[in-house]
Amino acid sequence: MLSTAQLEKIDLLSDTLLYDEAVSFVQRLVRVEHCNPLPTSQVTGLLNIAESFRYDELYRFITHQRDRNWPPSKSDIKTFYSALEQVLSIMMRKRLREEFHLLTERPGGSISEMRQEADALMARLAREFIQHLVAENGLIAAKMEDERRQQRMNRR
Amino acid sequence: MNPEMKIIREVSDQAENFYDDAVKLGDHAADALKAAHRSQMTELENIAESALKSSDIFDYIKKQSARFHYWRQAFAGHSDTKIGFGERLKTYLEKDMAEKLATICKRLDIGNSSDEDKQKRRRIYLMLIRQFIHQMVAEYEYQISPAPAAKKKEA
């Protein structure tokens, strides 16, 4: 169970840090690595799991999607999940404690308690990050579709 | 004057300053959404009122812009006629409004280092966004009501 202070801090991080990072994440994949936006079916699955607040299941889903044997036409999906896994791993291993200062100091606390708290925090942070990236992903996908439609009309 | 009153006064002053911009966005909304999609504006106002994070409002604008072509519709009355309504609103709230927030925080000596100050900034930012959206939706409602059309005919 997370404290009110922890939840308020997550809201703060979401507004001041995770939003911009999620936007940059998607824009980099599309504009720099020339990936297609994540398709709707993938977005729906990812968002549903992120909203269940189970970080272990979310992480399992992401690594499963990353490790699937995607056909060449869908290799962008693999790239997307590889990048997302890296972002979340660094958040879990490093940023949670060193940058976000979200973990409760509990001298003598058990490893299991610490793990539970870290998972609960990561579930919230990951959900925020994924919600922001899904919104940006959808907007970019719609704009690209508009451009394609315009090009088709110009050719006629 | 207590700190809370100071914040309210500053937000009101800024709201006076950005009224004309809200009217322009409201006109764009009326042109793009027409009366047929009035529920979109009502929903936006509800989201802005209930959101705990400014990023939730931005996400909502993006989602609607992705989902509905009319949110991406440009406005002939705007200097850059390629920018859709949603994009224009999002840019205004993210960029222009952030500058107004910085002005208020400077005047009230609210820093940007401690979590306490950052939380204050977030709250003021949300207040500004809500004010702007209220003003914009009011103009939208005015434009889609029969009265302005009748006035134009008379003119």
Cβ-contact A46, A134 below 8 angstroms = yes
Contact criterion met (CB < 8 Å) for B62 and A9? no
Distance CA B110, CA B106 (A): 6
Cβ-contact B131, B15 below 8 angstroms = yes
Distance CA B41, CA A86 (A): 38
In this predicted structure, the answer to whether residue B151 has a pLDDT above a threshold of 80 is no
Burial of residue B78 (CB within 10 Å: 0-12, 13-18, 19+) is: middle
Q: How confident is the model at residue B55 (pLDDT cuts 50, 70, 90)?
A: very high
CB contacts < 8 A (A, B): 49
Beta-carbon neighbour count of residue B79 at 10 Å?
A: 6
Beta-carbon neighbour count of residue B44 at 10 Å?
A: 23
Distance CA A135, CA A27 (A): 12
β-bridge mates for residue B74, sequence order: B84
Q: How confident is the model at residue B14 (pLDDT cuts 50, 70, 90)?
A: very high
Phi, psi dihedrals of residue A69, rounded to the nearest 5°: -90, 80
The DSSP code for B35 is G
Residue B151 or residue B117, greater confidence: B117
Q: Which residues of A touch B117 (CB under 8 A)?
A: none
Q: Which of B100, B88, B91, B108 is nearest to B126 (CA)?
A: B100
Cα dihedral A101→A107→A109→A115 (10° resolution): 20
Mutate to test the interface with B, among A10, A139, A140 (most CBs of B within 10 A): A139
- ipTM passes above 0.90: yes
Kindly report, residue by residue over A18-77, the tens digit of the pLDDT.
999 999 999 999 999 999 999 999 999 999 999 998 999 999 999 999 999 999 999 999
pLDDT value at residue B155? 44
Q: Give me the residues of A, 127-156, that contact B with CB < 8 A.
A: 128, 131-132, 135-136, 138-139, 141-143, 146
Contact criterion met (CB < 8 Å) for A139 and B65? yes
pLDDT value at residue A156? 81
In this predicted structure, the answer to whether residue A10 has a pLDDT above a threshold of 80 is yes
pLDDT value at residue B80? 67
In this predicted structure, the answer to whether residue A106 has a pLDDT above a threshold of 70 is yes
Distance CA A61, CA A129 (A): 16
Tell me the pTM. Answer: 0.93
In this predicted structure, the answer to whether residue A112 has a pLDDT above a threshold of 80 is yes
Q: Kindly state whether A19 is in contact with chain B, defined as any CB-CB distance less than 8 angstroms.
A: yes
And the tokens for B79?
Answer: 């200097």
Q: Kindly state whether A14 is in contact with chain B, defined as any CB-CB distance less than 8 angstroms.
A: yes
- Give residue limits of the domains in chain A: 4-155
Write down the residue that tokens 């088709």 correspond to. A152
Distance CA A146, CA B5 (A): 46
Q: Which residues of B touch A18 (CB under 8 A)?
A: 55
And the tokens for B7?
Answer: 């914040």
Nearest to B62 among A11, A12, A139 (CB): A139
Contact criterion met (CB < 8 Å) for A16 and B122? yes
Q: Which residues of B touch A135 (CB under 8 A)?
A: 58-60, 62-63, 66
Q: For A132, name the nearest residue in chain B, comparing CA atoms only.
A: B59
Cβ-contact B138, B49 below 8 angstroms = no
Distance CA B137, CA B29 (A): 8
Distance CA A146, CA B84 (A): 12
Contact criterion met (CB < 8 Å) for B53 and A18? no
Q: Which of B95, B83, B105 is nearest to B132 (CA)?
A: B95
Q: Kindly state whether A15 is in contact with chain B, defined as any CB-CB distance less than 8 angstroms.
A: yes
Cα dihedral A34→A37→A41→A44 (10° resolution): 130
DSSP secondary structure letters along A53-88? T-HHHHHHHHHHHHHS---GGGHHHHHHHHHHHHHH
Contact criterion met (CB < 8 Å) for B122 and A141? no
